[in-house]
Amino acid sequence: MTVSRPSLSPLGLLVIFPAIAVVHAIPMAIYHSADLDKFGVSWLTHIHAKGWSAFSAPFGNYSPTYLYLLRVASPLLNWLSRKSY
């Protein structure tokens, strides 16, 4: 007896992955850790102000991948109010 796995179309993936991301992001939007308040916000505002040139000098102690993802997300600061961070 063979068991067939259900297949998922690319369109299904385009719906499922963003939905999973939103479900995981909701608790993180509510919870603020001390690490985020002390480091993450200052790094994000630094990257947002300087753009890619922020990486010309060391400013953070996390992995470069994390800091690059902050750079990709930094335009979202324009949509946030100053009181939320």
9-23 pLDDT, tens digit each: 878 778 888 888 888
Task: Pick the closest to residue 19 from 11, 79, 71, 69 (CA basis).
Answer: 11
Q: Whole-angstrom Cα distance, residue 54 to residue 52?
A: 5
Residue 76 has pLDDT above 80, yes or no: no
Q: The whole model's pTM is what?
A: 0.55
How far, CA to CA in Å, does 64 sit from each of 3, 22, 27, 37? 43, 24, 25, 19
Q: Whole-angstrom Cα distance, residue 27 to residue 2?
A: 41
Question: Where do the domains of the chain lie?
Answer: 32-85
